[in-house]
């Protein structure tokens, strides 16, 4: 962490501690910060979780949500979580892998066969095992939200094959696995924060990015990126996490159960919103003049082979998890 970055975290921590006192009379108030727009289906899913917490606690608990990076970037909110200055945050699995390496499994290209395969993994023992892995790092995993599949969108030319990525600078999240994935497929990975991406695309700092349809649409990146190639190379979920300090020292056993139940019960609602938002986003960007490309995904799968070989050689534990998930996917193939 740079000195400037550290100062930002410390100042923001002080502001949150001063302005966000947890007790509010007899009400326990939890602060949730994240980087998405308030119209995003993941944000709306978290609003549903907050409603459930209030209902289940008979109003004795409340979650206040701060969207749009009001409390910092995803990495910064995770750091605030670790020191107990923020209670809850939503981050991409690609970002949290810098804190808990097992999450990098979700940046492996073409990990899941389809949505049913993904949901069964996330909702089952494997998904729970991954969530639990962050607890030693003072981060308690609550649930997964659907963030769809990620595909390439570009400003200069359409992407039909991996060869079309060559010579293009592609924005990625601050994730070693995402960087490796884009570089393996032929692009030049460039980490840039989400809030800076529109300007970076507009000014030509990067030639494109990769994300899901709702994020592409709601960010208005389609205004400057006129090609969207639905190769669906990864399905990186969003992760809802709570500070271990809050979990252990602020909430009692009954309150912890309420938060966990509310989070899990909000998941089906969020997934329904996600499906609707994805369909609407693709319609909207196409109507706005974006060329939507449906490339041969098998070409991108073949180009991913060096990524799998890297895992086998350098990340044997992760590779075994990859094989475990792949094996469970056989029943979903035709």
Give the residue from 89, 19, 18, 32 showing the smallest Cα distance to 61. Answer: 32
12 and 92 co-located in one domain: yes
160 and 199 co-located in one domain: yes
Exposure of 33 in the CB half-sphere (CA atoms within 13 A):
22
Which CATH number does the domain housing residue 301 bear?
3.40.190.170
133 and 210 co-located in one domain: no
Contact 254, 40 (CB under 8 A): no
The pLDDT value given to residue 5: 53
Q: Position of tokens 């075994």?
A: 320
Give the residue from 163, 141, 159 showing the smallest Cα distance to 88. Answer: 141
The pLDDT value given to residue 142: 98
Alpha helices in the chain (DSSP H): 3-19, 41-56, 74-82, 93-96, 115-123, 125-132, 176-185, 197-202, 213-218, 244-245, 253-287, 297-303, 305-314, 316-328
218 and 176 co-located in one domain: yes
Over the chain (334 residues), the average pLDDT of each successive run of 10 is 48 46 75 93 97 98 96 94 97 92 96 96 97 97 97 97 97 92 96 93 98 94 98 97 98 98 98 96 98 97 97 97 93 72
Contact 132, 244 (CB under 8 A): no
Give the residue from 71, 62, 114 showing the smallest Cα distance to 90. Answer: 71
Cα separation of 31 and 13, whole Å? Answer: 12
**What's 292's DSSP letter?**
E
The pLDDT value given to residue 334: 59
226 and 91 co-located in one domain: no
Q: Enumerate the β-bridge partners of residue 229.
A: 152, 293
173 and 213 co-located in one domain: yes
The pLDDT value given to residue 25: 64
209 and 275 co-located in one domain: no
The pLDDT value given to residue 9: 47
Q: Position of tokens 């094989």?
A: 323
pTM attached to this predicted model: 0.87
101 and 205 co-located in one domain: no
15 and 51 co-located in one domain: yes
Q: Position of tokens 């994020």?
A: 215
The pLDDT value given to residue 130: 98
Phi and psi (nearest 5°) for 113?
A: -75, -45
Provide the 10 A C-beta neighbour count for residue 183: 16
58 and 30 co-located in one domain: yes
193 Cβ contact partners less than 8 Å away, ≥ 6 residues apart: 73, 174
Provide the 10 A C-beta neighbour count for residue 308: 17
156 and 291 co-located in one domain: yes
227 and 303 co-located in one domain: yes
What's the structural domain count of the chain?
Answer: 2
Write out the residue range of the structural domain in which residue 224 sits.
150-235+281-332
Phi and psi (nearest 5°) for 300?
A: -75, -35
Cα separation of 45 and 59, whole Å? Answer: 19
């Amino acid at each position: 962490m740079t000195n400037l970055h550290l100062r930002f975290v410390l100042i923001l921590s002080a502001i949150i501690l001063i302005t966000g006192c947890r007790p509010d009379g007899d009400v326990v108030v939890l602060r949730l910060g994240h980087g998405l727009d308030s119209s995003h289906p993941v944000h709306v899913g978290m609003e549903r979780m907050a409603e459930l917490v209030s209902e289940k606690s008979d109003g004795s608990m409340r979650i206040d949500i701060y969207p749009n990076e009001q409390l910092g970037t995803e990495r910064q909110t995770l750091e605030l979580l670790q020191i107990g200055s923020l209670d809850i945050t939503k981050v991409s699995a690609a970002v949290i892998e810098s804190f808990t390496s097992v999450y990098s499994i979700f940046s492996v290209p073409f990990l899941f066969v389809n949505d049913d395969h993904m949901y069964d993994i996330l909702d089952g023992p494997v998904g729970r095992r991954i969530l639990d892995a962050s607890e030693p790092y003072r981060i308690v995993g609550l649930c997964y939200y659907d963030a769809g599949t990620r595909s390439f969108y570009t400003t200069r030319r359409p992407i039909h094959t991996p060869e079309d990525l060559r010579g293009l600078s592609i924005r990625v999240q601050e994730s070693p696995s995402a960087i490796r994935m884009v570089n393996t497929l032929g692009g030049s990975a460039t980490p840039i924060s989400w809030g800076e991406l529109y300007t970076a695309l507009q000014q030509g700092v990067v030639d494109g990015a990769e994300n899901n349809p709702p994020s592409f649409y709601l960010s208005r990146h389609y205004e400057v990126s006129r090609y969207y190639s639905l190769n669906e190379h990864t399905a990186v979920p969003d992760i809802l996490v709570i500070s271990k300090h809050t979990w252990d020292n602020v909430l009692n056993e009954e309150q912890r159960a309420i938060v966990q139940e509310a989070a899990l019960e909000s998941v089906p609602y969020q997934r329904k919103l996600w499906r609707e938002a994805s369909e609407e986003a693709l319609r909207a960007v196409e109507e706005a003049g974006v060329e939507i490309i449906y490339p041969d995904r098998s070409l991108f799968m073949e180009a991913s082979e060096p990524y799998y070989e890297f895992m086998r050689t350098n990340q044997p534990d992760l590779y075994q998890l990859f094989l475990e998930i792949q094996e469970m996917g056989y029943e979903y193939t035709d």
